[in-house]
Amino acid sequence: MSRRATEEHNGRVVSTVPAVSGFRPETGLKWIAGLFAYGLGLSALYATTGFGLPCPFRAITGWDCPLCGGTRMGSALLHLEIGAAFAFNPLAMVALVVVASLGVAWTVQVVGGPGLRLPTRIRKWSASVRPTSWLLAAAAVLLVYTLLRNVL
């Protein structure tokens, strides 16, 4: 069977090959839904009671971790205070916007709309990067963010 399977959709032929080999948008949507449900529940608890989860990293080091301020950010978002939410944790706010955008794109794809595809050049480059390199890059970003938010 060919890797380039196609099907007819709204009178046009579209590729059914996922953007990333083996990835299914339905799986990504389940993870996003779980993440958003957890964040919404924790933020609502904090907004109504003032109770949030203590940060073990902050308790040990006295420094804010990359997630510190996330609960307050969620509470501010529940009150539609976008500026305050960004001030509590800019990195988490940007990540939230990116994840929400992916969720919208994958939802459109799951209900039969067009799939989100990166340009071929970027797709080939990102596929050539090893997963370990992605993890190291993310760890480096989190380390630099932690240092900048605590030292400056």
Confidence of residue 152 (pLDDT cuts 50, 70, 90): confident
Q: Where would I find the beta strands (DSSP E) of 51-129? A: none
Mean pLDDT of 21-26: 75
Domain extents in the chain:
6-119
- CA neighbor of 90 nearest in space, from 9, 149, 31, 36: 149
Q: What proportion of the chain, given as a percentage, has pLDDT over 70?
A: 86
Mean pLDDT estimate for the chain: 86
Q: What is the distance between the alpha carbons of residues 92 and 126, in angstroms, rounded to a whole number?
A: 23
Mean pLDDT of 81-88: 96
Q: What is the pLDDT of residues 90-136, one digit of tens each?
A: 999 999 999 999 999 989 988 888 887 889 999 899 889 999 999 99
CA 120-116-36 angle, 5° bins: 130
Q: What is the pLDDT of residues 60-75, one digit of tens each?
A: 999 999 999 999 999 9
Mean pLDDT of 25-29: 88
> How much is the pLDDT for 93?
95
Mean pLDDT of 27-44: 93
- Across 41-65, b (16+ Cβ under 10 Å) vs e yields ebbebbbeeeebeebeeeeeeeebb
> How much is the pLDDT for 44?
93
